[in-house]
Amino acid sequence: MLNILVPNDYSTEAKNALKYAVEFAKQTNSQLILYHAIPDVIPINEIPVDHFYADEQEERLLLLESFQNFCVSEQITFNQTPTAYVNSCEHVADGIMEAVAQTNADIVIMGTHGASGWRRYFWGSNTSQLVSKCHFPVLVIPYPFVYQPIYHIVYASDLQQLEEELDMMVPFSKIFHAVLDVFYFDYASAESEMKMMEAEHYIRKHSYQNIRMSVKKGKLELPIDEQLQQNIDIGNTQIVALFKGEHSWLDYIMAGSNVQKLVMSSTIPVLVMNKIS
């Protein structure tokens, strides 16, 4: 059972992620924590006349009421009662990180969308900003992706900390009895050959029999995110998992605008985990 924090700005894309999170919670028997951020600052010329923020208690009640209405309108049956957390913040990513700490959330499930106006100012690329700075798992749901039974997870790895990362990925995969497909991009070096041999040996001995390794030819002229999108069978994959860290081949993907490109361009959910330090 997981505590799942679901940020919601009441947009179509956020509601799509919420719908995914409900199905995910039902499959994993998890608890939903609804989250909404009250902006500290909104450009004065862009404050919408139909939306003024109340205090945090009223916002929590509105968030819960909105969820109930959402379930009715979408004909969703969800037997558990979610909790709600609201805070004030200048940056949504910081507000979410505070909410995760205060609620002991295990994972954040969050949507992406191309915002405009005051939403672009306040929400903007906060999904990618959160992914780049957080130390907890974030599952990013692209719009309009609809929840599907999870049976194939692509896990892109540099094989540097395979055993430790599999200790995190295998329990997640076991929940769904999913195939965990370890993607490795080979750049034809002696070090690469040794890592592949060690990885294949470890995977063969692993108690979870649904692990396999897929070696792809690495292309130096292409960033890893583009290579992933070229090699993943989108119709047969429900989640792409990545580990970010300070000293890995994913560094330049997971920084600045590159992380935004990764999470915003994927057409299937992306699970971002933190590398073990």
User: Which of 81, 116, 141 is the last residue before a domain boundary?
Assistant: 141
Together in a domain, 8 and 136: yes
Do residue 129 and residue 245 come from a single domain?
A: no
Give residue 89's domain range.
Answer: 3-141
Q: Which of 37-51, 68-82, 119-133, 186-200 has the lowest mean pLDDT?
A: 37-51
Confidence of residue 260 (pLDDT cuts 50, 70, 90): low
Distance from C-alpha of 7 to C-alpha of 21, rounded to nearest angstrom? 10
CATH number of the domain enclosing 177: 3.40.50.620
Band of pLDDT at residue 179, cut at 50, 70 and 90? very high
Q: List, edge to edge, every strand of the sheet that includes 83-89.
A: 83-89, 31-39, 3-7, 107-111, 138-141, 270-274, 239-244, 152-156, 179-186, 211-217
Same domain? For 184 and 106 the reply is no
Higher pLDDT, 213 or 265: 213
Looking at the structure, tell me whether residues 32 and 89 fall in a common domain.
yes
> How many domains does the chain divide into?
2
| Half-sphere CA count of 188, side-chain side, radius 13 A | 4
Same domain as 187, residue 97: no
Do 48 and 123 fall into the same domain? yes
pLDDT band at 207 (very low <50, low <70, confident <90, very high): very high
Q: Are residues 158 and 110 in the same domain?
A: no
Same domain, 110 and 211: no
Q: What is the pLDDT of residue 261?
A: 63
Please give the Cα distance from 270 to 109 (Å, whole number): 10
Exposure of 117 in the CB half-sphere (CA atoms within 13 A): 5
Q: Pick the more confident residue, 223 or 66.
A: 66
Which of 84, 119, 141 is the last residue in one of the domains?
Answer: 141
User: 56 and 85: one domain?
Assistant: yes
Q: Are 31 and 103 within one domain?
A: yes
